[in-house]
Amino acid sequence: MVTAAQRWMIGGLAGALALAGPLYAQADQDRKPSALAPSLIAEGAPRADDEIVVTGKTEARPAEIREQARIITRQSAKYNYPLAMIQSRVCPGIVGMPAAMAEIMVDRMRFNAERVGLTLAPLGDCTPNILVIFVRNGQGVLKDLSKKPYGLLDGIKFADMKELLAERGPVHAWLVTETRSRQGDTIQGSNEWDMTQTPTLNIAQSQSHIFLAHRIDISKAVVMIDIAAIDGMGVVQLADYATMRAFAATNPVKGDAAVSTILGLFDPGVARPRELTDFDLAYLRTVYEGVDSLNAASKLASINRKLRAVQAEGGSAKGDE
């Protein structure tokens, strides 16, 4: 019997695989360096023709850091909803990359998952619930996927689907989420596309202004990247960018940010971090540490404390290009 997760994979990858290449969801113990795109092997090392301009920047104030955490969070009602989190075992899969690079990306994303306290699925024995797909034309692939009854867009909310199809740029990322009780019970009749059903969640506890009666689980995540946009980027950079888009409901950053973040990787006008920055790691720990049902605003308020803790550990980033 085909499970929902397998149906999601089979239905959605048919078109993407035709455009991109094979799927890699585990590391190969006998790695061989790839002759393709050698610049991707480096951790974002600058090319010889790159012009690097170093400018001074004052240290961001705590209020600016909190504001940046709020802005990158892809959620408007931060007092009424908790932050979306992955509750299942993490199994990343890569499509459209040479095998050696895909394996490095999988390893890096699994390492990132461990750093923020997520549980990993066993290597070689899991169906990917996080997909990073490299394609020629992400917008075109999305339009094709939107016409299929099942696949990578199965389970996405109507408003998110509309926004996703309207997005321009080289990256398209989306999450499939489920609303559950604090204990993990599912909502009955929660199909947004079937208006004949009334969503019902049976709960045995009260709700406060801080602790909510429900949580939001990320069941699947997809990050689709146009292959032409990754020229000069490193495998670690790409894996870390995908980490920030798949492990939490985040927005990409455009223009100068208060503090450096890998979410600005695809903005050509700013310096590109070589990996997750201290802010990025602090943000993910803010999402995943503490009570699942705490409202988003209360969780995000602790970002500065988490950032200080990351910096005290020795930091995460090696600097910007």
**Please, how many CA atoms are within 13 Å of residue 311, restricted to the half-sphere of its CB?**
7
**Please, how many CA atoms are within 13 Å of residue 125, restricted to the half-sphere of its CB?**
3
For β-strands 130-135 and 92-95, DSSP reports them as parallel
Instruction: Output the pTM of the full model.
Output: 0.82
- Predicted confidence (pLDDT) per residue in 259-296, tens digit: 999 999 999 988 999 999 999 999 999 999 988 889 99
Q: What is the pLDDT of residue 21?
A: 60
Range with lowest mean pLDDT among 141-150, 250-259, 284-293:
141-150
Q: What is the pLDDT of residue 57?
A: 56
Reported confidence tier of residue 46, pLDDT bands at 50, 70, 90: very low
**Residue 187, Cβ density class (10 Å: 0-12 exposed, 13-18 middle, ≥19 buried):** middle
Q: What is the pLDDT of residue 132?
A: 98
Of 58 and 89, the one with more pLDDT:
89
Q: What is the pLDDT of residue 42?
A: 47
- Give mean pLDDT, residues 242-254: 97
Nearest to 88 by CA among 214, 164, 176: 176
Task: Count the residues in the chain.
Answer: 321
Q: Which value, in Å, is the radius of gyration of the alpha carbons in the chain?
A: 19
For the CA atoms of 305, 222, 94, 149, the dihedral, rounded to the nearest 10 degrees, stands at 160
250 neighbors 286 (Cβ within 8 angstroms)? no
- Predicted confidence (pLDDT) per residue in 153-173, tens digit: 988 888 888 999 999 899 999
What percent of the chain shows pLDDT beyond 70? Answer: 71
Q: What is the pLDDT of residue 151?
A: 84
**Residue 216, Cβ density class (10 Å: 0-12 exposed, 13-18 middle, ≥19 buried):** buried
Q: What is the pLDDT of residue 182?
A: 73
- Predicted confidence (pLDDT) per residue in 205-246, tens digit: 555 556 787 889 999 999 999 999 999 999 999 999 999 999
**Cβ contacts of 309 within 8 Å, gap of 6 or more:** 282, 285
